[in-house]
Amino acid sequence: MATNVKARRKQPETRLGLVRRARRMNRILAETYPDAHCELDFENPFQLLVATVLSAQTTDVRVNLTTPALFAKYPTPEDMAAADPEDMEAILKPTGFFRAKTKSVMGLSVALRDRFGGEVPGKLDDLVTLPGVGRKTANVVLGNAFGVPGITVDTHFGRLVRRFGWTDETDPVKVEQVIAALIPRKEWTILSHRLIWHGRRMCHARRPACGVCPLAALCPSYGEGPVDAEAARALVKTGPPA
């Protein structure tokens, strides 16, 4: 396996070759993570929008522990817009950066109430006008609450597509554009989940589990982590990371 990788590294990859390799890797990820999905708990677009904003600089697990109390007290944009900031901060404190997050979720709630009739808009151009909402958050909401294909370029996604040699871009918007040209549109949302799951469970930033990775034969970064199967297997995480 290592020999094949080294040989491929020496040979320039054509555009067609890159497209075929990327799509094959996506198919392998589909087989590896058949249950890949958004790991934030939500019941409607508003809950997903707020949860995604809260997920910055913390884990989905932590957000999922926090949002039940938040949505029980403030179930609608109108309720959240009228919240006492100190009460909101107390609820959001476990997620970190709670003052900034309080400002964002209250601000977006005011915008939803005043500009969108209390409903989360289903268009990217509208979503990104909301306080604290960028393209990443907008694509999460579009893809998972509205069924509109979108690519979510979070830390894991960007790191993996560069490690896979799909792109060397670092700007999230440019990464999104490059990957959109490699992968069919209908696959954008689920590809995002598969890469995020792979990044959280196996292809870690510091020590990827190369020795047991199903993508090893297609990955130009094979060998950045342990290639011994036993050592690599010990790095694999099962279930949602804490």
Tell the CATH topology of 2-32+151-233: Endonuclease Iii, domain 2 (1.10.1670)
Would the pLDDT of 3 be above 50?
Answer: no
Q: Is the dihedral of CA 221, 227, 231, 232 positive or negative?
A: positive
Long-range contacts of 69-75 (CB under 8 A, 24+ apart): 71/43, 71/47, 74/109
Mean pLDDT of 58-71: 97
- Residue 41 is which amino acid? D
9 φ, ψ to 5°?
-60, -30
**In this structure, are residues 48 and 148 in contact, taking their beta carbons and an 8 Å threshold?**
no
Residue 118 φ/ψ, nearest 5 degrees = 80, 10
| pLDDT the model gives residue 238 | 83
Tens digits of per-residue pLDDT, 190-203? 999 999 999 999 99
| 60 annotated active-site | no
Q: Catalytic one among 101, 125, 154, 186?
A: 154
pLDDT (mean) for 40-62: 96
**Banded pLDDT at 11 (limits 50, 70, 90):** confident
Q: How confident is the model at residue 172 (pLDDT cuts 50, 70, 90)?
A: very high
The percentage of residues in the chain with a pLDDT greater than 90, rounded to a whole number, is 93
Catalytic one of 73, 93, 136, 171: 136
For residue 68, how far is the Cα from the chain centroid?
21
Q: Are the C-beta atoms of 229 and 211 separated by less than 8 Å?
A: yes
Closest CA to 49 of 124, 158, 115: 124
The 10s digit of each residue's pLDDT in 89-143 is 999 999 999 999 999 999 999 999 999 999 999 999 999 999 999 999 999 999 9
- When pLDDT is cut at 50, 70 and 90, the band that residue 1 belongs to is very low
pLDDT, position 160: 98
The pair of three-digit structure tokens given for residue 102, joined into one six-digit string:
């309080």
- pLDDT value, residue 61: 95
* In the chain, domain spans: 2-32+151-233, 45-145
Q: What is the pLDDT of residue 40?
A: 97
According to CATH, the superfamily of the domain at 45-145 is: Hypothetical protein; domain 2 (1.10.340.30)
Q: Examine the residue annotation and report whether 84 is marked as an active-site residue of this protein.
A: no
Question: So what's the pLDDT on residue 65?
Answer: 98
Q: What is the mean pLDDT of the chain?
A: 94
